[in-house]
Chain A
Amino acid sequence: MFGKGHKRKLDEDEAGLEGKALEVAGSCPEGLSKVSYTLQRQTIFNISLMKLYTQRPGEPSLQRRVLINNMLRRIQDELKQDGTLRPLLLPPSPPPDDPLDEGYRQAPPTFGVLVQSQPSALLMGPPPLSPHPMGSPASPNPPPLPSLPPQDCPLEACLTPASLLEDDNMESMENATFSIATPPTPPVSPRPARFQSMEPDIATSRTISANGNTLTISTSQLAREHRVKPEPASVLQAELRLLDPLPTLPSGGSLSPDPPSSSPSGFLSDLALDDVLFADIDTSMYDFDPCTTTTTSTTTGSAAIATAVGGISKIAPVVTADDLIKSLASPYNGPAPQVSSNQPFKIDLTELDHIMEVLVGS
Chain B
Amino acid sequence: MVPSSAQKVFYLLIYFCVVSAEAGEKSSEMEWCFSQVKGAIDDEVAEADLISAVEFNYTGELLATGDKGGRIVIFQQNPENKSQPQCRAEYNVYSTFQSHEPEFDYLKSLEIEEKINKIRWLPKKNAAHFLLSTNDKTIKLWKISERNKRPEGYNLRNGPYKDFTSIASLQVPVFKPMDLMVEASPRRVFANAHKYHINSISVNSDNETYLSADDLRINLWHLEITGQSFNIVDIKPANMEDLTEVITAAEFHPNQCHTLVYGSSKGIIRLCDMRAAALCDKHAKIFEEPEDRNSRSFFSEIISSISDVKFSHSGRYMMTRDYLSVKIWDINMGTRPIETFQVNEYLRSNLCSLYDNDCIFDKFECCWSGNDRVVMTGSYNNFFRMFDRGFRRDVTLEASRENCKPQSVLKPCKVSIGFEISIDSVDCNKKILHTAWHPLDNIIAVATTNNLFIFQDKLK
A104 partner, pick from B243, B297, B353, beta carbons under 8 A? B243
Q: Are B352 and A61 in contact (CB under 8 A)?
A: no
A62 partner, pick from B215, B242, B301, B422, beta carbons under 8 A? B215
Q: Are A99 and B423 in contact (CB under 8 A)?
A: no
Q: Are B242 and A141 in contact (CB under 8 A)?
A: yes
- Closest B residue to A41 using CB positions: B298
Q: Is A63 an interface residue (CB 8 A)?
A: yes
Q: Is A101 an interface residue (CB 8 A)?
A: yes
A254 to B111, CA, bound (A): 12
Q: Are A40 and B301 in contact (CB under 8 A)?
A: no
Whether A256 contacts B108 in the complex (CB less than 8 A), given A26-B350, A26-B352, A64-B361, comes out as yes
Q: Are B113 and A58 in contact (CB under 8 A)?
A: yes
A138 to B291, CA, bound (A): 19
Q: B residues within 8 A CB of A47?
A: 352, 355-356
Q: Is A319 an interface residue (CB 8 A)?
A: no
- Closest A residue to B291 using CB positions: A134
Please encode chain B, from 419 to 443, with 1 for each CB lying within 8 Å of some chain A CB and 0 for all others.
Answer: 0101100000000000000000000
A25 to B422, CA, bound (A): 12
- Closest A residue to B301 using CB positions: A70
Please encode chain A, from 67 to 87, with 1 for each CB lying within 8 Å of some chain B CB and 0 for all others.
Answer: 101110111000000000000
Chain B 282-296 interface residues, beta-carbon cutoff 8 Å to A: 291, 296
A223 to B300, CA, bound (A): 26
Q: Is B196 an interface residue (CB 8 A)?
A: yes
Q: A residues within 8 A CB of B348?
A: 29
A74 to B244, CA, bound (A): 11
Q: A residues within 8 A CB of B358?
A: 51, 64
Q: Are B301 and A67 in contact (CB under 8 A)?
A: yes
Q: Is A35 an interface residue (CB 8 A)?
A: no
Q: Which of A29, A41, A58 has the most CB of B within 10 A?
A: A29
Q: Are B108 and A63 in contact (CB under 8 A)?
A: no
Taking the closest CB of chain A, its distance from the CB of B188, in whole angstroms, is: 25
Q: A residues within 8 A CB of B237?
A: 137
A59 partner, pick from B136, B266, B305, beta carbons under 8 A? B136
Q: Are B352 and A22 in contact (CB under 8 A)?
A: yes
Chain A 90-136 interface residues, beta-carbon cutoff 8 Å to B: 98-105, 107, 128-129, 133-134
Q: Are B420 and A26 in contact (CB under 8 A)?
A: yes
A134 to B348, CA, bound (A): 20
Q: Are B352 and A43 in contact (CB under 8 A)?
A: yes
Q: Is B165 an interface residue (CB 8 A)?
A: no
Chain B interface size band reads: 35 or more
Q: Is B25 an interface residue (CB 8 A)?
A: no
- Closest A residue to B423 using CB positions: A26
Q: B residues within 8 A CB of A67?
A: 265, 301-302, 305, 361
Q: Are A66 and B108 in contact (CB under 8 A)?
A: no
Whether A66 contacts B113 in the complex (CB less than 8 A), given A22-B352, A100-B108, A259-B240, comes out as no
Chain B 7-22 interface residues, beta-carbon cutoff 8 Å to A: none
Whether A21 contacts B109 in the complex (CB less than 8 A), given A26-B423, A66-B243, A107-B241, comes out as no
Q: Is A217 an interface residue (CB 8 A)?
A: no
Q: A residues within 8 A CB of B248?
A: 63
A222 to B240, CA, bound (A): 10
A63 to B136, CA, bound (A): 13
Taking the closest CB of chain B, its distance from the CB of A260, in whole angstroms, is: 13
Interface size on A, residues (CB 8 A): 57
Please encode chain A, from 13 to 51, with 1 for each CB lying within 8 Å of some chain B CB and 0 for all others.
Answer: 000001001100111010000000000110110010001
Q: Are B240 and A101 in contact (CB under 8 A)?
A: yes
Q: A residues within 8 A CB of B356?
A: 18, 22, 47
Q: Is B171 an interface residue (CB 8 A)?
A: no
Q: Is A143 an interface residue (CB 8 A)?
A: no
Q: B residues within 8 A CB of A29?
A: 297, 348-349
Q: Is A221 an interface residue (CB 8 A)?
A: yes
A201 to B420, CA, bound (A): 53
Q: Which of A63, A100, A221, A256 has the most CB of B within 10 A?
A: A63
Taking the closest CB of chain B, its distance from the CB of A343, in whole angstroms, is: 18
Q: B residues within 8 A CB of A21?
A: 352
Taking the closest CB of chain A, its distance from the CB of B250, in whole angstroms, is: 13
Chain A 236-265 interface residues, beta-carbon cutoff 8 Å to B: 250-251, 253-254, 256, 259
A63 to B242, CA, bound (A): 14
Q: Are A224 and B241 in contact (CB under 8 A)?
A: yes
Q: Is A220 an interface residue (CB 8 A)?
A: yes
A254 to B107, CA, bound (A): 9
Q: Are B240 and A26 in contact (CB under 8 A)?
A: no
Whether A220 contacts B241 in the complex (CB less than 8 A), given A71-B302, A256-B108, comes out as yes
Q: A residues within 8 A CB of B410?
A: none
Q: A residues within 8 A CB of B422?
A: 26
Whether A129 contacts B296 in the complex (CB less than 8 A), given A21-B352, A62-B197, A256-B108, comes out as yes
Q: B residues within 8 A CB of A22?
A: 352-353, 356
A59 to B117, CA, bound (A): 13
Q: Is B195 an interface residue (CB 8 A)?
A: yes
Q: Is B245 an interface residue (CB 8 A)?
A: yes
Chain B 275-332 interface residues, beta-carbon cutoff 8 Å to A: 291, 296-298, 300-302, 305
Chain B 174-232 interface residues, beta-carbon cutoff 8 Å to A: 195-197, 215-216
Q: Are B241 and A223 in contact (CB under 8 A)?
A: yes
Q: B residues within 8 A CB of A104?
A: 240-241, 243
A61 to B358, CA, bound (A): 12
B298 partner, pick from A40, A66, A98, A250, beta carbons under 8 A? A40
- Closest B residue to A106 using CB positions: B241
A282 to B355, CA, bound (A): 49
Taking the closest CB of chain A, its distance from the CB of B52, in whole angstroms, is: 13
Q: Are A59 and B301 in contact (CB under 8 A)?
A: no
Q: Are B110 and A100 in contact (CB under 8 A)?
A: yes
Q: Is B239 an interface residue (CB 8 A)?
A: yes
Q: A residues within 8 A CB of B197?
A: 59, 61-62, 100
Q: B residues within 8 A CB of A62?
A: 196-197, 215-216, 246
B241 partner, pick from A26, A44, A221, beta carbons under 8 A? A221
Q: A residues within 8 A CB of B243?
A: 66, 104, 137
**18 residue pairs bridging A and B, Cβ less than 8 Å apart:** A29-B348, A41-B298, A47-B355, A62-B215, A63-B246, A64-B358, A66-B245, A66-B246, A67-B305, A74-B301, A99-B108, A99-B110, A101-B240, A103-B240, A104-B241, A134-B291, A137-B243, A220-B242
Extra inter-chain contacts (16) besides given A44-B298, A51-B358, CB under 8 Å: A25-B352, A26-B422, A43-B352, A44-B352, A62-B197, A62-B216, A64-B361, A66-B243, A67-B301, A74-B301, A99-B109, A104-B243, A129-B296, A133-B244, A137-B235, A223-B241
Q: What 6 pairs across the A-B complex have the smallest Cβ distances?
A: A99-B108, A104-B240, A103-B240, A137-B245, A62-B215, A254-B109
Which residues of A line the B interface, CB within 8 A? Answer: 18, 21-22, 25-27, 29, 40-41, 43-44, 47, 51, 58-59, 61-64, 66-67, 69-71, 73-75, 98-105, 107, 128-129, 133-134, 137-139, 141, 219-225, 250-251, 253-254, 256, 259
